Chain A
Amino acid sequence: MEQLASIIGWEALKMIVGLIGVLAFVVVNALILTWAERKVAGHMQRRIGPKEVGPYGLIQPIADALKLLGKEILTPRAVDKPLYYVAPMLIFIPVLVSFIVIPFDASLVVKDINVGILVILAFSSLSMFSILMAGWGSNNKYALMGAIRSIAQNIAYEIPLLLALLPIIMMTNSFSLKTIVEAQQGLWFVFYQPLAFCIYFIAGVAETNRTPFDLPEAESELVAGYHTEYSGMRFALFFLAEYTNMFIVSAIAVTFFLGGYQGPFLPGIIWFLLKSYLLVFVIMWLKWTFPRVRFDQLLNISWKALIPLAFINLLITGGLLKL
């Protein structure tokens, strides 16, 4: 270990270990979430969900993944080759980069960059590009409509997302997530900023295209939205990115509003995962209860309701801090 560290420097070694850890976590998290989604959906709809495959259907996601691995990958003739190939790859970059700054535990963070939250927000708008590429590249009318809708939705909900996080930064005067979590020793920020938490959560659900905002891949209108033309493993990558995005949104909500890894007696990492998966469960719960919002209502909610509310909240925090 020591001579390895001395060769490439202690810092680089920590990064590589972090990288492997993050990759493993992403894969395991995707498997758990696919299984949980089908089980939660099942129980919510008075049926049991996958039960035959493993003890409690646990091997079902592995069966899905293997089956997708064994599926042929078709590239339709009339498709714009470069865009079509790059889209699934590009969607994965923001997913992995966001994991750098998320503090799983007091010491368990890959590299605490002092402009942490900016990195996540900058890269999260990158995923919008890949959806546009997928939609435009696959030369399919449904995919094009799905892509256009997802861009309008993402830009509409990016601003309330930023504005919801601003009051927290005001209170802690720093971007790096670790200091924000430390600042929540006494009382979690959710009690200072309940409105900001709600705005953030709604914008987060909209950012990951989950019902009731899942217009880009609305089954009943656009057949399968922007990934209509993708088959086999490429389609699985889109799914993988969506589930990991869901986890990232809830992880950021936890670090900002629910006091990251602080908790009375359990070790930090357990608290962090517990809170995150609780929020992920709420997102899934939303999916199976609400009908879909129409496209112009979706935009109106953001421009007419969320952004003014976020402004008012910002002003109130600004004023209170001054007193």
Chain B
Amino acid sequence: MNVLAYLPYAVSFWIFAMGCYGLVRCRNLIAAVLALAVAQSSTYVLLLSIGFHKQAGAPIFSPTNPVGSPAVDPIVQALTLTDIVVGATVSALILALSIQIHRRTSCIDPERLSPMSE
């Protein structure tokens, strides 16, 4: 079995695990946003890697790439586009939350912030 043929999937899973590791170890909410964004990029990589096809072009036709010529899967690309928007919005929301936390407590270390636990 050609190991390289499965490398893209492995890379995607690896990035996801590293993103989660960043969340587990982070001492700064902004680092957590970046770690979450890294974890999210793993989904883009996985989707696009699954839809890729050798010997095919982009799913955008033009006189040099006429209609009907082989193309990689356009659906995963559309899904990834949606996913990128989701990622950006969640980042913006958590950053706004971090700014508010900092305003209240002058601290953005998640270790020292916990909802009053009873």
Partners in one complex: no
Chain A interfacial positions (CB closer than 8 Å to B): none
